[in-house]
């Protein structure tokens, strides 16, 4: 039986339609690749609640549940497990994203992200995210 891992991720979009990416730190699987912030959904957590917790822990920002807009999900087989990852778009948060776990951060337009720098599961998320960012003006 294949183990399914549920992970929630956020595409934080700034007023310039750039998305925040975090570099996976040394010592973790796929170290050096860039990913959307987020993390594993814990027992008894919804993806939204897990994402709010992870964004606080990783970046020091607070996000209201109403600000998390479900966009697309990834379903990808890795050796030893299958990843299921909903990607939520978020345009409003409290605080300034800052690396709290030793990761590097960068803001890039979705259509400028090099797919080769992402984990394989994240690559199919780029096109829907770029389309969303292009058609949705910031408030």
pLDDT tier, 134 (very low <50, low <70, confident <90, very high otherwise): confident
Alpha-carbon gap, residue 130 to 102, rounded angstroms: 27
Pairing of strands 38-40, 19-23: unpaired
Q: Among 27, 29, 57, which residue's Cα sits nearest to residue 42?
A: 57
Angle, CA of 22, 134 and 105, to the nearest 5°: 10
pLDDT on residue 139 = 52
Alpha-carbon gap, residue 127 to 124, rounded angstroms: 7
Average pLDDT over residues 70-97: 96
Average pLDDT over residues 106-112: 94
Q: What is the pLDDT of residues 21-71, one digit of tens each?
A: 999 988 888 889 999 999 999 999 999 999 999 999 999 999 999 999 999
Per-residue pLDDT for 92 more than 90? yes
Helix (H) or strand (E) segment spanning residue 127:
helix 126-135
Alpha-carbon gap, residue 2 to 31, rounded angstroms: 24
With H, G, I as helix, E, B as strand and everything else as coil, classify residue 50. helix
Per-residue pLDDT for 136 more than 60? no
pLDDT tier, 89 (very low <50, low <70, confident <90, very high otherwise): very high
What pTM does this model have? 0.93
pLDDT on residue 101 = 86
Fold assignment, 4-135: Nucleoside Triphosphate Pyrophosphohydrolase (3.90.79)
* Domain coordinates in residue numbering, the chain: 4-135
């Amino acid at each position: 039986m294949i183990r399914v891992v549920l992970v929630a991720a956020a595409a934080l979009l700034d007023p310039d339609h750039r998305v925040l990416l975090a570099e996976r730190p040394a010592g973790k699987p796929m170290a050096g690749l860039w990913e959307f912030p987020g993390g594993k959904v814990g027992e008894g957590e919804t993806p939204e609640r897990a994402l709010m917790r992870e964004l606080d822990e990783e970046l020091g920002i607070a996000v209201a549940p109403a600000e998390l807009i479900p966009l697309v999900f990834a379903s990808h087989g890795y050796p030893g497990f299958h990843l299921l990852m909903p990607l939520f778009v978020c345009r409003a948060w409290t605080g300034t994203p800052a690396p709290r776990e030793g990761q590097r951060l960068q803001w890039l337009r979705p259509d400028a992200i090099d797919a080769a720098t992402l984990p394989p599961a994240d690559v199919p998320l780029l096109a829907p995210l770029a389309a969303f960012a292009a058609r949705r003006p910031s408030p």
